[in-house]
């Protein structure tokens, strides 16, 4: 188990208790403890949302008449009825109005080391021009605009430009192939696509335009493709459809008006990382996205004016818009990396922290396991004293990697704000607050405003054992359904416990001290010889072996046990991966977890299939090893890793 029974790793500092955003909120309302705040926020939406709107200074063009209307049932709750606002007014326009245009807004670093920076004034000018240009080609309120972009300053400009004019951004992961890209463009009915000619990964060019052209053959309603030149050289061009970004943006003018949007107007369509079936387009609103990004980045991550936030993510994952919109709301600086954290050398991430004086660093546990395998020297070569808060999300931690991150990056002085939610929430169900202590690997407690619980199979609330992570109340950030498929939305989140309880699909546990832990996805859970186990438990045991850098546990059909436990693993550099080591690792896991959970097979690979955010794609691993059809490879960042697994399965070695 990831549950730590040895006590707390981090305690609030004086600054956290006096000057954090959440401490200010608590003082304002006479709330004495973090637990009291969580309880009041979860049970009293009519108090909580007006309180944080006032505390954070969210501005409305037209004030709302009612906080919420749940008359159609929890899944279809409406929020801030009668209210009008625009996210761009709150994250950009008001800062310019208040004379903060010279403050740094965006720092974008390219793989080759080139840095592009935008002040709030420069960002505002670019957003206005691009927004005007989009209006000039007929993009109107509610129109979907696709993004297929590298993680550069352009994604911030594009995101805000669309929102400013009432269009709906549809960010798509830049590693998708033509079929997956086209499926999302068709599903969202995108007529305009913003892209680049390509980008660089580990010193090699990755060409986007050819993929875009192939996707547009499958999505013929796309009538305009706006291309940012990044790689240079010749590329295929479609006259009458393709436009150069710089020329397009320059023609947009500088006086584009920020549209007044209804609170429930669409603001984003995000796609979840499913592996089969029609893509799930998650619909979010201006009111919901505004509230959740400001709330979570402000109170949980404790971003304050002037802070510098670097969350290693992609615009196609919800953490990309979450980081950008939340940081800019609080007048911070967003740092982006168009590259990977260990190229051109293992210190890339740490050098960026030092170079840009990053105060908040967020990564996935898998990324830390990768970086930890390179030792402490790459970290110690850099001054990380600017860091005040560490962040993580994506999957459960193992305690060794968590402690390494806390100590190596933060000197054990920074809280690890380990958050968990999802695309469908545009935010979190669980997230620590900096006013209470944190146990290693824990998520501390519910995110503010979320009435979260752990249930057994019969729907009973449980403590001290693993169960289903659920939410009993509505929140403004919950999706307004899946695009064009409301029944699928109900089937996904409300089928198990009824329409009064959102079933998130994660396994969680609450320990005797009230600390919350995640153990993995419910659909990843393994049942071996009658025992249910989360893959994270097996993987943590594997990583505790001195030869193993990364691991993924999956189940394969077995005629005797029903499920055979298989471990797919990566060794540390310089260690030979052979059958003898596989047997040793298998015995090691059995000694820690018991003979029942000793893997039947250990398969060595060079890399695990992961998303761009670092999440291990266990279902794809299982399908590849079982020789099953893979289906859509969602947010896969390294398709070569999946291809290698498929070859292993084909050779019969799995």
CATH number of the domain that residue 143 is part of: 3.40.50.12780
Torsion angle, alpha carbons of 482, 485, 487, 488, to 10: -60
Rounded alpha-carbon distances, angstroms, from residue 244 to 145, 210, 219? 16, 15, 20
In a domain, residue 33? The reply is yes
Residue 650 pLDDT grade (very low, low, confident, very high; cuts 50, 70, 90): low
In this prediction, residue 558 carries a pLDDT of 72
Inter-residue contact 482 to 488 (CB < 8 Å):
yes
d(CA 450, CA 501): 12
d(CA 382, CA 399): 24
Q: Residue 396: is its pLDDT beyond 90?
A: no
In this prediction, residue 248 carries a pLDDT of 97
In a domain, residue 563? The reply is yes
pLDDT more than 90, % of the chain: 75
Classify the C-alpha dihedral 356-361-367-370 as positive or negative.
positive
In this prediction, residue 197 carries a pLDDT of 96
In this prediction, residue 5 carries a pLDDT of 44
d(CA 213, CA 227): 11
Helices (H), 165-275: 178-188, 209-218, 245-250
Residue 167 pLDDT grade (very low, low, confident, very high; cuts 50, 70, 90): very high
The maximal CA–CA distance of the chain, rounded, in angstroms, is 71
Rounded alpha-carbon distances, angstroms, from residue 446 to 21, 35, 470, 502? 17, 10, 11, 14
Residue 84 pLDDT grade (very low, low, confident, very high; cuts 50, 70, 90): very high
In the predicted model, what is the mean pLDDT of residues 480-505? 94
In a domain, residue 513? The reply is yes
Classify the C-alpha dihedral 318-319-320-321 as positive or negative.
positive
Helices (H), 222-318: 245-250, 286-295
Do 161 and 273 belong together in one domain? yes
Do 165 and 258 belong together in one domain? yes
Q: Residue 645: is its pLDDT beyond 90?
A: no
Residues 6+ apart with CB under 8 A from 11: 437
Do 233 and 277 belong together in one domain? yes
Q: What are the residues facing 207 on neighbouring strands?
A: 198
Do 572 and 612 belong together in one domain? yes
d(CA 436, CA 621): 38
Q: 531: domain CATH number?
A: 3.30.300.30
Residue 1 pLDDT grade (very low, low, confident, very high; cuts 50, 70, 90): very low
In a domain, residue 565? The reply is yes
In this prediction, residue 2 carries a pLDDT of 40
Residue 4 pLDDT grade (very low, low, confident, very high; cuts 50, 70, 90): very low
d(CA 643, CA 230): 28
Residue-wise pLDDT tens digits, 403-453: 999 999 999 999 999 999 999 999 999 999 999 999 999 999 999 999 999
How would you class 526 by CB atoms within 10 Å of its CB: exposed for 0-12, middle for 13-18, buried for 19 or more? buried
In a domain, residue 404? The reply is no
Residue 176 pLDDT grade (very low, low, confident, very high; cuts 50, 70, 90): confident
Strands 115-119 and 562-571: unpaired
Residue 635 pLDDT grade (very low, low, confident, very high; cuts 50, 70, 90): low
In this prediction, residue 232 carries a pLDDT of 87
In a domain, residue 314? The reply is no
Per the document, the length of the chain is 654
In a domain, residue 379? The reply is no
Rounded alpha-carbon distances, angstroms, from residue 571 to 535, 545, 592? 18, 10, 19
In the predicted model, what is the mean pLDDT of residues 569-596? 89
Do 38 and 134 belong together in one domain? no
In a domain, residue 265? The reply is yes
Inter-residue contact 140 to 261 (CB < 8 Å):
no
SS (H, E, C) 515-577: CEEEEEEHHHCEEECCEEECHHHHHHHHHCCCCEEEEEEEEEEECCCEEEEEEEEEECCCCCC
Residue-wise pLDDT tens digits, 500-526: 999 998 889 999 999 999 987 776 667
In this prediction, residue 535 carries a pLDDT of 80
Give 491-494's long-range contacts (Cβ < 8 A, gap of 24+): 492/280, 493/75, 493/424, 494/74, 494/75
In this prediction, residue 521 carries a pLDDT of 77
* Domain final position from 475, 491, 521: 521
Higher-pLDDT residue of 558, 286:
286
Residues 6+ apart with CB under 8 A from 136: 251, 252
Rounded alpha-carbon distances, angstroms, from residue 539 to 115, 309, 549, 598? 37, 30, 10, 11
Residue 632 pLDDT grade (very low, low, confident, very high; cuts 50, 70, 90): low
Do 197 and 295 belong together in one domain? yes
Q: Residue 399: is its pLDDT beyond 50?
A: yes
Residue-wise pLDDT tens digits, 219-275: 999 999 999 999 988 999 999 999 999 999 999 988 899 999 999 999 999 998 554
Do 535 and 444 belong together in one domain? no
HSE, side-chain direction, 13 A CA sphere, residue 104: 15
**How many domains does the structure of the chain reveal?**
3
SS (H, E, C) 54-87: HHHCCCCCECCCEEEECCCCHHHCEEEECCEECH
Nearest to residue 197, comparing CAs of 182, 208, 206? Answer: 208
Rounded alpha-carbon distances, angstroms, from residue 33 to 20, 37, 38, 116? 14, 6, 9, 42
pLDDT more than 70, % of the chain: 94
- Phi and psi, residue 99, nearest 5°: 80, 25
Q: Pull the structure tokens for residue 353.
A: 């922290």
Do 531 and 493 belong together in one domain? no
Supply the mean pLDDT for the chain.
92
Do 171 and 263 belong together in one domain? yes
| Complete DSSP assignment for 14-43 | HHHHHHSHHHHHHHHTT---HHHHHHHHHH
* Domain final position from 482, 502, 521: 521
Inter-residue contact 350 to 382 (CB < 8 Å):
yes
- Phi and psi, residue 502, nearest 5°: -80, 115
Do 287 and 165 belong together in one domain? yes
- Phi and psi, residue 208, nearest 5°: -90, -35
Do 637 and 606 belong together in one domain? yes
Q: Pull the structure tokens for residue 641.
A: 């890793």
Domain span at 533 = 525-651
Q: Pull the structure tokens for residue 177.
A: 């192939």
Residues 6+ apart with CB under 8 A from 441: 2, 3, 4, 396, 397, 398, 399, 402, 418, 517
Q: Pull the structure tokens for residue 393.
A: 């999300």
Residue 6 pLDDT grade (very low, low, confident, very high; cuts 50, 70, 90): low
Do 548 and 446 belong together in one domain? no
Determine which of 185-199, 558-572, 623-637 has the lowest per-residue pLDDT on average: 623-637
In the predicted model, what is the mean pLDDT of residues 70-98? 97
Residue-wise pLDDT tens digits, 86-141: 999 999 999 999 999 999 999 999 999 999 999 999 999 999 999 999 999 999 99
d(CA 24, CA 34): 12
d(CA 262, CA 286): 7
Inter-residue contact 201 to 111 (CB < 8 Å):
yes
In this prediction, residue 275 carries a pLDDT of 42
d(CA 432, CA 416): 8
Angle, helices 178-188/209-218, rounded to nearest 10 degrees: 50
Strands 389-392 and 416-418: parallel
Q: Pull the structure tokens for residue 610.
A: 């992961």
Q: Residue 276: is its pLDDT beyond 50?
A: no
Residue 612 pLDDT grade (very low, low, confident, very high; cuts 50, 70, 90): low
* Domain final position from 521, 540, 571: 521
Nearest to residue 506, comparing CAs of 368, 611, 396, 634? Answer: 396
């Amino acid at each position: 188990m990831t549950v730590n029974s040895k006590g707390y790793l981090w305690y609030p500092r004086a600054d956290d208790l006096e000057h954090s955003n959440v401490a200010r909120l608590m003082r304002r309302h006479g709330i004495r403890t973090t637990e009291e705040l969580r309880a009041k926020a979860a049970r009293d939406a009519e108090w909580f949302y007006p309180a944080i709107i006032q505390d954070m200074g969210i501005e409305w063009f037209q004030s709302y008449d009612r906080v919420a209307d749940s008359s159609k049932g929890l899944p279809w709750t409406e929020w801030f009825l009668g209210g009008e606002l625009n996210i761009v007014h709150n994250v950009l326009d008001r800062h310019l109005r208040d004379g903060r245009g010279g403050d740094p807004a965006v720092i974008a670093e390219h793989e080759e080391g080139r840095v592009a920076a935008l002040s709030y004034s420069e960002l505002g000018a670019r957003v206005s021009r691009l927004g005007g240009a989009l209006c000039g080609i007929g993009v109107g309120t509610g129109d979907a605009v696709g993004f297929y972009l590298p993680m550069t300053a352009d994604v911030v400009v594009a995101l805000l430009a669309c929102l400013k004019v009432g269009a709906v951004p549809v960010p798509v992961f830049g590693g998708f192939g033509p079929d997956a890209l086209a499926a999302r463009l068709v599903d969202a009915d995108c007529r305009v696509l913003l892209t680049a000619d390509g980008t660089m990964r580990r010193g090699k060019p990755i060409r986007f335009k050819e993929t875009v052209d192939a996707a547009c053959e499958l999505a013929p309603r796309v009538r305009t493709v706006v291309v940012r030149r990044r790689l240079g050289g010749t590329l295929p061009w479609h006259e009458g459809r393709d436009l150069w970004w710089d020329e397009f943006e320059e023609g947009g003018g500088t006086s584009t008006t920020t549209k007044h949007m209804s609170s429930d107007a669409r603001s984003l369509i995000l796609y979840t990382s499913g592996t089969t079936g029609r893509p799930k387009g998650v619909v979010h609103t201006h009111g919901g996205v505004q509230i959740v990004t400001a709330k979570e980045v402000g109170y949980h991550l404790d971003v304050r004016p002037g802070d510098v936030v670097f969350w290693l993510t992609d615009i196609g994952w919800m953490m990309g818009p979450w980081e950008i919109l939340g940081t800019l709301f609080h007048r911070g600086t967003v740092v982006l990396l168009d590259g990977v954290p260990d190229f051109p050398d293992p210190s890339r991430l740490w050098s960026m922290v030092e170079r840009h004086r990053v105060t908040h660093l967020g990564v996935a546990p898998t990324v830390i396991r990768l970086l930890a395998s390179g030792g402490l020297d790459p970290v110690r070569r850099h001054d990380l004293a600017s860091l005040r808060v560490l962040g993580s999300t994506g999957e459960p931690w193992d305690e060794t990697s968590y402690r390494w991150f806390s100590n190596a990056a933060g000197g054990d002085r920074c809280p690890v704000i380990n958050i968990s939610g999802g695309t469908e929430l545009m935010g979190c169900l669980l997230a620590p607050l900096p006013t209470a202590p944190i146990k290693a690997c824990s998520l501390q407690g519910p995110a503010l405003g979320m009435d979260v619980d752990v249930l057994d199979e019969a729907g009973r609330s449980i403590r001290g054992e693993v169960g289903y992570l659920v939410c009993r109340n509505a929140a403004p950030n919950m999706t307004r359904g899946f695009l064009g498929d409301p029944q699928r939305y109900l089937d996904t989140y409300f089928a198990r416990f009824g329409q009064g309880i959102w079933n998130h699909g994660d396994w969680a546990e609450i320990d005797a001290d009230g600390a919350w832990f995640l153990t993995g996805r419910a659909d990843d859970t393994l049942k071996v010889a009658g025992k249910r186990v989360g893959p994270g438990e097996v993987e943590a045991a594997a990583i505790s072996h001195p030869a193993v850098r990364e691991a993924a546990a999956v189940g394969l059909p077995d005629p005797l046990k029903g499920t055979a436990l298989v471990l797919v693993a990566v060794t540390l550099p310089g260690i030979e991966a052979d059958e003898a080591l596989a047997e040793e690792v298998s015995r090691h896991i059995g000694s820690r977890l018991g003979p029942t959970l000793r893997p039947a097979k250990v398969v060595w690979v060079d890399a695990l299939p992961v998303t761009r955010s670092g999440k291990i794609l266990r279902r794809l691993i299982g399908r590849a090893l079982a020789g099953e059809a893979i289906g859509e490879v969602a947010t896969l960042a390294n398709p070569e890793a999946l291809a290698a697994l498929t070859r292993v399965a084909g050779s019969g070695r799995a």
